[in-house]
A and B are shown apart, each in its own frame.
Chain A
């Protein structure tokens, strides 16, 4: 492993829309700006695979701008520890990077929330965003029968993407109610661009059944997925398919801000009006501060980039726009709130922790996380509870525990700091 050291004024963790927007406003002032992301290319989940020649004008423009401003992009590297203030460690395939910064902007985005149900561990049951990401990474989907299920606007975006790639979308199943969706539509009045987006997607998906009040209750197959049982109102029905793409809206990635000591509130990072966290010199923008979609991420990123480079005035100009998008975010999260019936999804033998294969009935013998972890190893595998944690919180109400380094599994020798020689430690004893 090679060790590389990087000093920069502004370090941005995450190269999605929020991170890119932050980079563009920070770099305008001649500061050295670096973005680090665990994916090989910038764009985040929503613009995965897009380039400066993208057919999405917003993506192309921002990617171009960041390139022109000389922002350094470090791909394929994942931050796993903060050995001291203003210093992060990241791991890539062949290197360990020491990243020294003056100001840090966290834009680590969100991940899908998964809810375990019988059969969800079968191969070819995936996240909605998960299947989309895999197809973007080169997995063929043409001619495959796909059911898209769960909750949130992501389902439609994924459906539209897969449809364009010649998947046969059998059904889109949204757990929220039709009346919630109608209220959502009414709430969009005054935001014509969002209504147009919705109409556009709807047009593209002409002929694909879209059911509300509907969710998967079990997946079936031998060694891989063959069919899915879904429930709508009081009716249960079974459909054959090749893939089930299922995610229940999004949850913020809070592991890094938690490691750095940033305060959180109700599952999101707390920030002030300049997107600054409770920790000096650390800002946060995008889905980690609230699940709010692309536009809110962009404006928060821009504000953070200005604020981190001392341009409060320019940041203030964006406050109104942010306020408008926050209203949308509130509406979004209310609309796609999970219904209580979903708490009945897992049966006794449903695996909740996929790393350690811990079943729901084993977890239910405990009444809090730590004891359950200790005695069942739930959440103790390599994903460190990122998948089962939110599910357990929804099913059982257990709040996540504190995080410890490494926040992602790392090569053992990357946990070793080089500058240790001076310290007085006996090398051996029992």
Chain B
């Protein structure tokens, strides 16, 4: 048979796209080489956050967060949706100025936030080191157990007829996907949602692997109450190419703490690197000294699919007939998966979207190159 659409990858983005396509009555095949949500979906922190690096990033993250808030009302318990909020932590007055700038930006756009002074921050998160200047609480941010969320989206798609096909895609053709076992999945449209593997299937797209490390602890309920992120990046040369670490801790619904984060380019090996792990944990303990004595039960790495402008590629792939992209989500794939699926199906069905789609079109990269 020929499917209306073949989606490559059953990560959270592929699963969300499958559900949207199936909802519109399309016949859908999702081709996954491993397990549902087994790539960056499983390796990442699983946050649903509004971000403001650019207007386009803000628009996409907020749109998607609202979709998640709706979906959370019906998600099963094992998705562990927890509306814990984020606190952007300001270590000094310079970072406090960023808190105010951010607060103004968010409040203009009706994102609920609260500025915390030093005392309020200490009350909100007693285990942060003393002497912080304050922080910005973003109330609607949440965390989720992503592999189960991906599976939930996939199951809903399957209930509407989507087929999950286990196999490794070797080549994308204009009329389908060729698998490594020699079989061919015939489809009217193909969606490349293979995350950091996507450039292997669609050579030429500017998606690079960006490696990250994470550590998870045993259960310490109430040790941390919000997702905590530092604002310290203001002082470092914020480079797209060099390796870096940052303080980023999340409370999971289980009571466990997820500790990040690190970023590396140009590393293919997935092994846990002692140096990066050490730097990352050093930074975490600097912000939260009592983390030092907690029991760490596991560390792992994963690869984000990063683009140069930190925006995903959503839409038709230039010069490849019938091929759509839904990839390049870097560290925001969980957050923006639901909106990605909406923007994708809108483009497939040639109908208007809730937010402008232009900033995410794969063709933008080429245009910029021409103008540069």
- Is B299 an interface residue when CB atoms closer than 8 A count as contact? yes
A427 pairs with B294, CB closer than 8 A: no
CB 8 Å contact bits of B236-264 with A (1 = contact, 0 = none) = 11110011111100000000000101010
Tell me the minimal C-beta distance from A284 to chain B in angstroms: 23
Chain B neighbourhood of A415, CB < 8 A: 215, 277-278, 281, 296, 299
Known contacts A371-B38, A412-B215: does B299 contact A429 (CB below 8 Å)?
A: no
In the assembled complex, B179 has its CB within 8 A of some CB on chain A: no
Q: Which parts of A1-31 form the interface with B (CB within 8 Å)?
A: 1
Please tell me if the beta carbons of A404 and B245 are within 8 angstroms of each other in the complex: no
B116: Cβ under 8 A from any A Cβ? no
Task: Judge whether B211 is part of the interface by a CB distance below 8 angstroms.
Answer: no
Q: Looking at A409, A411, A413, A424, which has the most chain B CB atoms within 10 Å of its CB?
A: A413
Most B Cβ at <10 Å: residue of A370, A380, A416, A430: A430
Q: What are 28 A-B contacts defined by CB distance under 8 Å?
A: A83-B274, A370-B38, A374-B35, A374-B42, A374-B147, A381-B297, A382-B218, A382-B295, A404-B299, A405-B272, A406-B298, A409-B296, A412-B285, A412-B294, A413-B292, A415-B278, A415-B281, A416-B285, A417-B278, A424-B242, A424-B243, A426-B237, A427-B279, A428-B233, A429-B236, A429-B244, A429-B246, A430-B238
> Contact at A426–B272, with CB atoms within 8 Å?
no
**Interface residue from B151, B217, B283 paired with A412 (Cβ < 8 Å):** B217
Contact A412 B292 (CB under 8 A): yes
Residues of A near B350 (CB, < 8 A) are none
| Structural contact, A405 and B299, CB atoms closer than 8 A | yes
**Size of chain A's interface in residues, with CB distance under 8 A?**
33
Q: What's the minimum C-beta distance from A273 to chain B, rounded to whole angstroms?
A: 32
Q: Measured between alpha carbons, how far is A427 from B237 in the docked complex, in Å?
A: 10
Residue A203, interface by CB 8 Å = no
Minimum distance in angstroms from A389 CB to a CB of chain B: 14
Nearest residue, chain A, Cβ from B310: A430
The answer to whether B236 and A413 touch across the interface, beta carbons within 8 angstroms, is no
Residue in chain A with minimal CB distance to B217? A412
Q: Does B182 contact A (CB under 8 A)?
A: no
Chain B positions within 8 Å of A423 at CB level: 275, 279
A339 in contact (CB, < 8 A): no
Q: Tell me, in angstroms, the Cα distance from A368 to B236 when the chains sit together.
A: 44
**Residues B281 and A412 in contact, CB atoms below 8 Å apart:** yes
A222 is an interface residue with CB less than 8 A from chain B? no
A235 interface residue per 8 A CB criterion: no
A416 touches B278 (CB 8 A): yes
Q: With A and B bound together, what is the CA distance between A84 and B281 in angstroms?
A: 19
Q: What A residues does B58 contact at CB under 8 A?
A: none
Bound-state Cα–Cα, A370 to B284, Å: 29
A427 to chain B, nearest CB (A): 6
A212 within 8 A of partner (CB)? no
**CB pair B279 A420 closer than 8 Å:** yes
- Write out the residue numbers on chain B whose beta carbons fall within 8 Å of the beta carbon of A382: 218, 295, 297
Closest to B53 in A: A430
- Kindly report which residue of chain B lies nearest to residue A430, judged by CB atoms: B233
Residue of B nearest to A422 (CB): B275
Bound: A430/B218 CA distance, A: 25
- By a CB distance below 8 angstroms, the chain B residues around A424 are 242-243
For residues 294 through 351 of chain B, which have their beta carbon under 8 Å from a beta carbon of chain A?
294-300, 331
Whether A344 is near chain B, meaning CB under 8 Å from some CB there, is no
Contact with B along A233-273 (1 / 0, CB 8 A): 00000000000000000000000000000000000000000
Q: Give the one of A1, A370, A376, A415 with max B CB within 10 A.
A: A415
Q: Is the CB of A430 within 8 A of B246?
A: yes
Q: CB distance A427 to B236 under 8 Å?
A: yes
Q: When the two chains form their complex, are residues A406 and B299 in contact, meaning their CB atoms are under 8 A apart?
A: yes
- When distances are taken between beta carbons in the complex, the residues of chain A under 8 Å from B242 are 424-426
Sorted nearest first, the 7 A-B pairs with minimum C-beta distance are A371-B35, A413-B292, A429-B244, A426-B244, A374-B147, A428-B232, A416-B278
Chain B residue nearest to A381 (CB atoms) is B297
Bound form: Cα–Cα A384–B299 in Å: 12
Smallest CB separation, B272 vs chain A (Å): 6
Is A430 a contact partner of B229 (Cβ separation < 8 A)? yes
Chain B residue contacts of A83, Cβ below 8 A = 274
Residue interface bits B146-185, CB-to-A below 8 A is 1, else 0: 0110010000000000000000000000000000000000
Q: How far is the CA of A384 from the CA of B217 in the complex (A)?
A: 12
Known interface pairs A371-B36, A417-B275, A429-B236; A412-B298 also in contact (CB < 8 Å): no
- The answer on a CB contact under 8 Å between B263 and A429 is yes
**A427–B244 contact, CB under 8 A?**
yes
Which residues does chain B contribute within 8 Å of A317, judged by CB atoms? none
Contact with A along B126-143 (1 / 0, CB 8 A): 000000000000000000
Is B362 interfacial (CB 8 A cutoff)?
no
- A428 & B244 in contact (Cβ 8 Å cutoff): yes
Contacting pair B246 A425 (CB below 8 A):
no
Is B44 an interface position by the 8 A CB rule? no
- Tell me, yes or no, whether A410 is within 8 Å of chain B by CB: yes
Report how far A361 CA is from B330 CA in the complex, Å: 35
- In the bound complex, how far is the Cα of B260 from the Cα of A283, in angstroms? 36
Residues in chain B near residue A412, CB distance under 8 A: 215, 217, 259, 281, 284-285, 291-296
Q: Which residues of A contact B217 (CB under 8 A)?
A: 412
On chain A, the residues within 8 Å of B284 by CB distance are 412
Enumerate chain B residues within 8 angstroms of A429, measured Cβ to Cβ: 233, 236, 238-239, 244-246, 263
Contacting pair B147 A416 (CB below 8 A): no
* Cα of A427 to Cα of B236 in the assembled complex, Å: 8
- Besides A374-B37, A428-B230, 17 other A-B contacts (C-beta < 8 A): A371-B35, A375-B147, A382-B218, A384-B297, A405-B272, A406-B298, A410-B295, A411-B296, A412-B284, A412-B291, A412-B296, A415-B278, A417-B274, A424-B243, A425-B242, A428-B246, A429-B233
